[in-house]
């Protein structure tokens, strides 16, 4: 029996502007698909994340879905922007009749809650100004686990500085989950102007580099960041919710506070409102999203040798 066409959406997350934030493909599955299919479709999309939603029919106070995330080359254990994109689609298309959604993931049960709109501070980073504005009356709050980090050996600092084009380094930590390197630079300006050597980052210890720096007080932000994960097939991730699960605890220690406004200073740019729950070791990430492609279906046919997949898209509708 032929497989049913799969409905999917493309959503720009952590922004209220089309063509900004981080795009994710959200695929709604009505039947199981094998690992090769899931990875091959993610490779075909070639976005930083393609995610798959499957409704779970079990008793719960809130709608529950199984959620998996794939980069172009591998499955990952935690992803913020694709979770935000998934919740945005479920809330805006009427697929759920609730203000809270539960997701069953490789990082446990994560929740998304519809919340009030919030006003982001203005920024003088020019990239953020160029997009099509969309009006939203709500934001989405994700409840994620914190990502612990440890000290990092100073013997490799020179190689990391070289990978960041000889940038000055204030501090380095290593996350205990994926081994990402949290590299602190002298300032917001240092982060924005960073010109990394991607091939050198690929050779550094760790899965990727999260570069961050404090924002000037007058900016309205607390810190900026940029994220590079070439081993996962993502040279620079436009906006990385999961990275802020390590950034929030780090900046909480440095700034002595638990609430932050963060800016990810990639070419697309993205804004996150954060709260660190120290007692429960959770990070609440608040953001907005914009649907770019709405109600697109695809059929996937597999070759006889099972080594390649062909994706055919139908019913394409651009809403951005």
| Confidence check: pLDDT of 125 > 60 | no
* Structural domains in the chain, sorted by start: 6-145+289-298 (3.10.310.10), 149-276 (3.10.310.10)
pLDDT of residue 67: 98
Q: Can you spell out the DSSP letters for 246-304?
A: HHHHHHHHHHT-SEEEEEE-SSS-EEEEEEEETTTTEEEEEE-EEEEEEEEEEEEEE-T
Q: Tell whether the model's pLDDT for residue 153 goes beyond 50.
A: yes
Q: Which of 197, 164, 155 is nearest to 182 (CA)?
A: 164
The answer to whether residue 207 is catalytic is: no
Query: Each residue of 206-259: pLDDT tens digit?
Result: 789 999 999 999 999 999 999 999 999 999 999 999 999 999 999 999 999 999
pLDDT per position as a tens digit, 161-182? 999 999 999 999 999 988 999 9
For residue 44, pLDDT beyond 50: yes
**Range of weakest confidence among 98-102, 119-123, 294-298, 316-320:** 316-320
pLDDT at 185: 98
**83-97, 130-144, 214-228, 251-265, range with the lowest pLDDT:** 130-144
35, 49, 151, 236: the active-site residue: 49
């Amino acid at each position: 029996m032929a497989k049913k066409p799969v409905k999917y959406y493309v959503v720009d997350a952590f922004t209220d502007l089309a063509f900004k934030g981080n795009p994710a493909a959200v695929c709604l599955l009505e039947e199981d698909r094998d690992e090769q299919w899931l990875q091959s479709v993610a490779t075909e999309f070639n976005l930083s994340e393609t995610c798959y939603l499957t409704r779970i029919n079990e008793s719960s106070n809130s709608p529950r879905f199984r959620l998996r995330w794939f980069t172009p080359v591998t499955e990952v254990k935690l992803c913020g922007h694709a979770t935000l994109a998934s919740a945005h689609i479920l809330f805006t298309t009427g697929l759920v009749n609730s203000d809270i959604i539960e997701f069953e993931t490789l990082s446990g049960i994560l929740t998304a809650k519809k919340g009030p709109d919030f006003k982001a501070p203005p920024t003088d980073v020019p990239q953020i100004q160029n997009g099509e504005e969309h009006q939203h009356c709500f934001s989405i709050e994700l409840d994620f686990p914190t990502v612990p980090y440890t000290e990092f050996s100073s013997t490799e600092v020179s190689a990391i500085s070289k990978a960041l084009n000889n940038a000055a380094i204030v501090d380095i930590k290593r996350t205990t989950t994926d081994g990402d390197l949290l590299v602190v630079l002298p300032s917001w300006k240092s982060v924005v102007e960073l010109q990394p050597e991607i091939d050198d980052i690929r050779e550094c210890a760790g899965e990727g580099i999260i570069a961050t720096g404090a924002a000037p007080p007058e900016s309205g932000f607390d810190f900026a960041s940029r994220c590079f994960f070439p081993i996962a097939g993502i040279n620079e991730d436009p906006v990385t919710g999961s990275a802020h699960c390590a950034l929030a605890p780090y900046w909480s220690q440095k700034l002595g506070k638990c609430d932050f406004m963060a800016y990810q200073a990639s070419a697309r740019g993205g804004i996150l409102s954060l709260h660190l729950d120290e007692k429960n070791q959770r990070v609440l990430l608040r953001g907005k999203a914009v649907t770019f492609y709405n109600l697109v279906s695809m059929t996937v046919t597999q070759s006889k040798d099972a080594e390649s997949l062909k994706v055919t898209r139908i019913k394409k509708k651009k809403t951005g």
